[in-house]
Amino acid sequence: MGASKRRVSMPGGQPRTGRRSAGGSGSGGSSRNELWHLLTEYCTPRRDCGVTLPSGPCGRIHVKDKRVQIIVERREYLQGSICSDKDCETTAEKVFYKHPEKRKAFLEDGRFWGQTNPALVAKIEKAFTDLVDEFASTVKPGKEENTEDLPVLYESCCAGHCDDLIYLFEFGKIRALDRYSKEEFSEVMSCYHGGQFVGHHMSFFMHHIVHFFIGTKLLLYNNVEKAPKLDRMYNRACDGQTFLPYQRKNLHLWMKDLDVTTEMCKAAFRCIYLYVYWRRKFEPYYDIETDRILELGNGERIDFWCF
């Protein structure tokens, strides 16, 4: 390895911060860090499951029937959380914990624990789409993010349009993206060349890229020293592309070399927001929040498919 590269383990300490690029080892500004904070919260669930009880604007327990009264009487730790305002309206349910501060450690026992928490998952999905939208909305037509022509080290698995488009995403070839015709766009978005396992090729590819970016950034944000093993699907193209073709040669340095890992994250994130930019060019009513290609989970849980 040349002198300009740093092969390091992920050091301990506070989450890193950075400048514009959300693909680096940190995101500039508290709003961009919100996604990683929420994901960390999701991956460090509380150790006790808590009890769900009626509540209102006060955030306290509304003892509205015999069932709730019995639950509170049997749990001493709940008795200090009862709402005494008889005019306080019951508007929702809230989970009350015996030890709210006690959480599982991040990657405890080498596992992503996660939790069934639709409200938190919705916040994470929104933070992710907001982050992608922020960058997609600032792309300037005709401006090249990368003017360097680099060799593509892979075997084509989609003779033509899909692989060509992935190349443009990976290297930020915005001028070439702007030259795409409506017919070429339709060809890519209707490509199901890979059989039942792959299905819709662009969905298949973007699924792998999104989860690589989310999973890797989350590890970097939490300064993980011993990373889980990356899914072997990333190591080669099968019937459909599973990773950025040029960056694939660097996967053996994933989470071993900080600089290389950061560059892979940047390239993956650039691919994601240029995909959104490209969709909007041809679909005036495209809605990033309803694009299933960018979904992280099933609405109740988030799955980390890259590990």
Question: Is there a single domain that holds both residue 195 and residue 99?
Answer: no
pLDDT per residue of the chain (307 residues) written in tens, 0 to 9: 333 333 334 433 333 333 344 665 444 445 578 999 999 888 887 777 778 889 999 999 999 899 999 898 888 888 889 999 989 999 988 888 887 777 776 776 666 767 778 888 999 999 999 999 999 999 988 776 666 666 555 555 555 577 888 888 988 889 888 998 999 888 888 877 655 555 677 888 899 999 999 999 999 998 888 888 888 887 877 667 888 888 988 999 999 999 999 999 999 999 999 999 999 999 989 999 999 999 988 878 888 777 7
Q: What is the pLDDT of residue 154?
A: 53
Q: For residues 91 and 153, give the distance between their C-alpha atoms in angstroms, rounded to a whole number.
A: 57
Q: For residues 130 and 30, give the distance between their C-alpha atoms in angstroms, rounded to a whole number.
A: 13
Tokens of 283: 């679909």
Q: What is the pLDDT of residue 233?
A: 80
Does residue 80 sit within a domain?
Answer: yes
Does residue 8 sit within a domain?
Answer: no
Q: Residue 103 burial by CB count (10 A; 0-12/13-18/19+): exposed, middle or buried?
A: middle
Q: What is the pLDDT of residue 113?
A: 65
Does residue 216 sit within a domain?
Answer: yes
- How many residues does this entry show for the chain? 307
Q: What is the pLDDT of residue 115?
A: 77
Dmax over Cα atoms in the chain, in whole Å? Answer: 72
Does residue 268 sit within a domain?
Answer: yes
Q: What is the pLDDT of residue 236?
A: 76
Output DSSP code: residue 93: E
Question: Is there a single domain that holds both residue 84 and residue 164?
Answer: no
CB 62 within 8 A of CB 83: yes
Q: What is the pLDDT of residue 283?
A: 92
Question: Is there a single domain that holds both residue 182 and residue 212?
Answer: yes
The pair phi, psi for residue 92, each rounded to 5°, is -165, 180
Q: For residues 23 and 275, give the distance between their C-alpha atoms in angstroms, rounded to a whole number.
A: 15
Question: Is there a single domain that holds both residue 159 and residue 74?
Answer: no
Does residue 96 sit within a domain?
Answer: yes
Question: Is there a single domain that holds both residue 202 and residue 297?
Answer: yes
Into how many domains does the chain fold? 2
Question: Is there a single domain that holds both residue 194 and residue 287?
Answer: yes
Question: Is there a single domain that holds both residue 73 and residue 165?
Answer: no
* Backbone region of residue 116 per phi and psi (left: phi > 0; alpha: psi in -120 to 50; beta: other values): beta
Q: What is the pLDDT of residue 142?
A: 74
Q: What is the per-residue DSSP string for 269-281? A: HHHHHHHHHHHHH
Question: Is there a single domain that holds both residue 204 and residue 93?
Answer: no
Does residue 202 sit within a domain?
Answer: yes
Q: Which residues lie closer than 8 Å to 177 by C-beta, 6 or more apart?
A: 165, 168, 169, 274, 277, 278, 281
Q: What is the dihedral angle through the alpha carbons of 218, 220, 223, 229, rounded to the nearest 10 degrees?
A: 80
Q: What is the domain extent for residue 246? A: 118-145+152-303
